[in-house]
């Protein structure tokens, strides 16, 4: 049987792991390579690294970090943050990442998804969708959740599937950092609407929240950060749960 995936996410800022609440208020959470190795030992199914500084100057720092991670860990991992072009993707994949995650750049130029899928395969393209429930509608946000777009989340995810995205990483900004559970409504709706894996993100606080999202939605995986970093939920216990 195909297993549901538990995916720790490491937000990277200047080579360190950090975590914010509701996309702001950042706390230091340690060395990414050490943390990644710990997660692998604990049985994480996959890892996601998001470079939240994501400027052109630190592209080289990021690819050096990706190389280091690839040497040390033996499970699939995704790298995202500030990826704007096929060249950016190529740099990250050659450094040893299995997948890249794009977000604002996909909204700006959806063709980028198709280009990456053609060059490296769909399995390589994760599109991160940051969404917020506002005025009775789920809307897509970009730039690390700072800027709302005119895109309705349900329309956008269907377009992503058609463009060749391999996976959708769906973060509810209403739930992120709140530890009150994943957004079951939008995760459920998106995972029913598309025929590609959907990873639920934002809001995990207890083991029950993971069970809930897998029971009530068709999500293929669930992602969380701080509850793993600070040891609030040990991964081995969660996987047995």
107 or 125: whose CB is closer to other proteins?
125
Contacts of 126 by beta carbon, 8 Å cutoff, 6+ apart? 78, 80, 99, 100, 101, 102, 165, 166, 167, 168, 169, 199
Q: Which residues of this protein are in contact with other proteins, per CB under 8 A?
A: 1-3, 5, 40, 43, 45, 70-71, 74-76, 93-96, 98, 120-123, 166-167, 195-197, 220-221
Active-site residue identified among 11, 45, 88, 176: 11
Alpha carbon distance 182, 189 (integer Å): 13
How many CB atoms lie under 10 A from the CB of residue 162? 12
Cα dihedral sign, 69-58-19-8: negative
Q: What is the nearest approach in angstroms of other proteins to the Cβ of residue 45?
A: 6
Contact 204, 222 (CB under 8 A): yes
Report the nearest approach of other proteins to the CB of residue 55 (Å): 25
Which CB, 26 or 70, lies closer to other proteins?
70
Active site residue 25: no
Q: 24 vs 121, which CB is nearer to other proteins?
A: 121
Q: Are the beta carbons of 7 and 36 closer than 8 angstroms?
A: no
31 catalytic? Reply is no
Q: How far is the CB of 76 from other proteins (least distance, A)?
A: 5
Which residues participate in catalysis according to the annotation? 11, 130
């Amino acid at each position: 049987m195909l297993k549901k995936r538990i995916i720790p996410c490491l937000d990277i800022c200047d080579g360190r792991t950090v975590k914010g609440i509701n996309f702001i208020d950042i706390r230091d959470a340690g060395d990414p390579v050490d943390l990644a190795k710990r997660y692998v030992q604990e049985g994480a199914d996959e890892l996601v690294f998001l470079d939240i500084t994501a400027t052109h100057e630190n592209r080289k720092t990021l690819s050096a970090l990706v190389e280091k991670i690839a040497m040390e860990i033996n499970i699939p991992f995704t790298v995202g943050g500030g990826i704007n072009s096929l060249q950016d993707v190529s740099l990250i994949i050659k450094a040893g990442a299995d997948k890249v995650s794009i977000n604002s750049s996909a909204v700006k130029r959806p063709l980028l998804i198709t280009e990456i899928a053609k060059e490296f395969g769909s399995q390589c393209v994760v599109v991160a969708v940051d969404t917020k429930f506002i005025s009775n509608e789920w809307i897509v946000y970009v730039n690390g959740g700072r800027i709302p777009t005119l895109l309705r989340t349900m329309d956008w995810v269907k377009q992503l599937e058609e463009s060749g995205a391999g996976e959708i990483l769906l973060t509810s900004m209403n739930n992120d950092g709140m530890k009150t559970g994943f957004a079951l409504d939008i995760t459920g709706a998106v995972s029913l609407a598309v025929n590609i894996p959907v990873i639920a993100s934002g809001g995990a606080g207890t083991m029950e929240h993971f069970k809930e999202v897998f029971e009530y939605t068709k999500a293929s995986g669930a992602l969380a950060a701080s509850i793993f970093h600070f040891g609030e939920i040990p991964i081995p216990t969660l996987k047995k749960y």
